[in-house]
Amino acid sequence: GSDDIIAGNVSKYTVLPAGYCGQLRKGHLIFDACFESGNLGRVDHITEFEYDLFIRPDTCNPRFRVWFNFTVENVKESQ
């Protein structure tokens, strides 16, 4: 569930639709938070335009998730 501990950051993680097994295409987003202050722990694909992002808790106070820092690559126009 959403209360599970997220241990690390995603690193050049490509999010593909469920059951997709073809080549990477434009619009298959690549998320990366593997850098200082990155805090994206998990990404779930919902639709082409919707993703659930799970932000890791703050190091000093696990009750808070008030900031986020990650990159997104491989977007297509109007996505």
Q: How many helices (H) and strands (E) does the chain have?
A: 0, 5
**In the chain, what is the straight-line distance between the N-terminal and C-terminal CA atoms, in Å?**
28
Instruction: State how far the Cα of 5 lies from the Cα of 15, in Å rounded to an integer.
Output: 20
Mean pLDDT for 30-58 is 88
Q: With beta carbons less than 8 A apart as the criterion, state whether 64 and 24 touch.
A: no
Confidence band of 5 (pLDDT split at 50, 70, 90) = low
Confidence band of 78 (pLDDT split at 50, 70, 90) = confident
pLDDT tens per residue across span 35-48: 877 788 899 999 98
**Kind of pairing, strands 30-32 and 13-14?**
antiparallel
Claim: this prediction has a pTM higher than 0.85: no
Q: Does the structure show a pLDDT above 60 at 2? A: no
Half-sphere exposure of 74 (CA within 13 A, CB side): 15
